[in-house]
Structure 1
Amino acid sequence: MTIGHHMSEWGGLPAVDFPGPGEKPDEPLPDAGSVAWRISADVYDGEEEWPAAFARFAATVDLSEVRALVVGGWTEAYDSSNEEIVAALVAAADRMPGLRALFVGDITYEECEISWIHQSDVTPLLTAFPRLEAFGVRGGEGLVFPPVAHSALRLLRIETGGLRKEVVRGVADSDLPALEDLDLWLGVSWYGADAHVADLEPFLTGGRLPALRRLALRNSEIQSEIATALAGAPVVARLTELDLSMGTLGDEGAAALLEGQPLTHLRRLDLHHHFISAPVAERLTQALAPYGVEVDLSDGNTGRGAREDRYTAVAE
């Protein structure tokens, strides 16, 4: 799997591209608060830098009404960090009091592979927007996430092909009392992933995340080890959705889930893109489906049971 399409929505609003330089929209622009605005600069040979595109946006749209914003590509995202983008958004924070959803790096593989996207310290955005409810980032290269306190954030998503343990620990040590949905794409060691199950322990206990209802620890080359740890993790009892998809989950991890604590209270167990054999997959379905649990076992790779043959859905 590769990321071949831009996001269609963010923050519960449809995503709409703000016109590029010299572009004339076919229709009048939508109301400022009715869509998630995607602002982009061409990654290759762009006519303007991202801060200039944002300045045009600010001169065109009433920033005070904007509820959702998506940062698309920026010039040479494969070689240049987004520090200037972070700085531009922080500087405009007092003009965007209504912003509730922000995503940084809605970039397809044709623009820049996920593991080439250069990020930076993104936590100043959380500090600058204390009312933000949804925050997402794509790309792990250069990503910095020191511990941060944020009382309103309900969804945090970090999509990478390789997430470093310093970022994992920074999220784990953050004070996020309202967080309901945590979604981490852990990735593979070839692209920088070096977190172990022990680094995930704060998420497994859930002590710092009292509101958590959906936990996604996915796209990992240690997916079975994560599943085994979750089989007895205290946080599972209060989840409505557990997502272990997109990784290298095999029979050993699936068996641990079956033999561990009950999962019958879940609304959804997402295991898509897996390496579970057909008999074990059937056992999962038979154990959970009668209780109304939606079990996603799509995109199975049953012929690749050996660990050396497994791969994550997203890496490069």
Structure 2
Amino acid sequence: MTIGSHLQEFHGLPAFTFPEAADKPLRVSALPSPESVAWRVAVDSYDSQESWPDAFARFLEAVDTTRVRALVVGAWSDVYDSAPTEVIEALVAARDRLPELRAVFLADVVMEECEISWIVQGDVSPVLEAFPLLEEFGVRGGNQLVFPAVRHERLRRLTVETGGMPAEAVRGVAGSDLPALVHLDLWLGTSEYGGDYEAGDLEPFFAGNRLPALKHLALRNSEIQDAICSSLASAPVVARLDTLDVSMGVLTDDGAAALLSGQPLTHLRSLDLHHNYLSAKVRSRLLETLEPHGVEVRADQDDAESDEEEDGTVWRFVAVGE
């Protein structure tokens, strides 16, 4: 699985790409109303003729940013080699010009621009600090990602998409106080691409003490999906969830059986385990146990594949790595 398309929607709004400098002359009258779209500002990731801060400056002049509600940061120059330091500095510097901003997605970058594991990130916490009214924050790319523990009173949705999430960043999110957070989605990834976290780093998510409003928990795309499911089997946070997502990872019969043998899951609206390595028997058991209680179970294998070497070693892969 690769990310081949830019976001079509963000924060409930259709995404609209702000015209590049080469598209001159810019007809301001032809632009959508500021509050009606999620504005995507991007430059060419290879050999860009304009820096991202310069493109953002044009955006600030052309659009009534006092009415902008959602902003999508696309590629910046040399995204595969340079951290978005100037991007974040430009956002922070413009905070007074974006009083209605409620959602930011950092690095809506697709495969043709840069593979997810090659996207260079940095410390993304200044965005949260600069916008205390932010309700949704998304980040793509785990290479050099820094996410220290923060407190944010208004954030309701947090998504971090990586092919390998650094342990320090996992611990930072886990240590954050997010009292309004309803939706948490972490693509944890694999050690091959920097995901050096361990199951113990996820313990605060299982307890859920810092996430009292949480209703949707996704701990997915992990090579230790079985261990995650084993911990979720007795995790206090599960009892108050509406949806649980353990998809896209290396989930085998052991993890699914542990999940089923733990606390009841019949209160869930949905359980997502797609992209898995489950046997037909265990998949049937999941469906027979949960679907009669109205739980929507997604347990299809999609494109999950195993490679077996001559010595009998079996290699299984997360959905999104490189």
TM-score of the superposition, structure 1-length normalised? 0.97
Alignment of 1:12-91 (within 5 A): 12-23=12-23, 28-91=30-93
CA-CA distance at 1:101 after TM superposition: 0.6
Q: Distance in 2 between matches of 1:301 and 1:53?
A: 38
Q: Is the 8 A contact 2:304 2:319 kept in 1?
A: no
Q: Which consecutive aligned stretches of 4+ in structure 1 deviate over 4 angstroms post-superposition? A: 24-27, 300-303
Q: Which of 299, 308, 315 is 1:309 aligned to? A: 315
CA-CA distance at 1:47 after TM superposition: 1.4
CA-CA distance at 1:299 after TM superposition: 2.9
Counterpart of 1:187? 189
Would the alpha carbon gap of residues 215 and 85 (structure 1) be closer, same or farther in structure 2, given more than 3 Å must change?
same
Deviations 1:137-191 (A, max 9, x none): 0001111111111000000100000001100111111111000111111000011
Q: Is the 8 A contact 2:118 2:143 kept in 1?
A: yes
Q: Distance in 1 between matches of 2:295 and 2:135?
A: 27
Q: Aligned residues, how many? A: 316
Q: Secondary structure at the match of 1:147?
A: coil
Q: Is the aligned partner of 1:9 residue 2:26?
A: no
CA-CA distance at 1:298 after TM superposition: 2.2
Counterpart of 2:299? 297
Q: Distance in 2 between matches of 1:170 and 1:62?
A: 35
| Identity level (%) | 59
1:153 is matched by which residue type in structure 2? Answer: L
Q: Distance in 1 between matches of 2:126 and 2:4?
A: 29
Q: Is the 8 A contact 1:276 1:302 kept in 2?
A: no
CA-CA distance at 1:308 after TM superposition: 3.3
Q: Secondary structure at the match of 1:33?
A: helix
Alignment of 1:205-216 (within 5 A): 205-216=207-218
Q: Is the aligned partner of 1:197 residue 2:199?
A: yes
Q: Is the 8 A contact 1:276 1:300 kept in 2?
A: no
Alignment of 1:159-174 (within 5 A): 159-174=161-176
Q: Is the 8 A contact 2:306 2:317 kept in 1?
A: no
Q: Distance in 2 between matches of 1:251 and 1:305?
A: 17
1:109 is matched by which residue type in structure 2? Answer: M
Deviations 1:241-260 (A, max 9, x none): 00001100010001111111
Alignment of 1:83-102 (within 5 A): 83-102=85-104
Q: Is the 8 A contact 1:267 1:292 kept in 2?
A: yes
Deviations 1:250-298 (A, max 9, x none): 1000111111110000001011111111110010001011111111112
- Superposed CA RMSD in Å reads 1.5
CA-CA distance at 1:107 after TM superposition: 0.3
Q: Distance in 1 between matches of 2:167 and 2:111?
A: 24
Would the alpha carbon gap of residues 31 and 229 (structure 1) be closer, same or farther in structure 2, given more than 3 Å must change?
same
Q: Distance in 1 between matches of 2:2 and 2:305?
A: 21
Q: Where does the alignment leave 5 or more consecutive residues of structure 1 unmatched?
A: none
TM-score of the superposition, structure 2-length normalised? 0.95
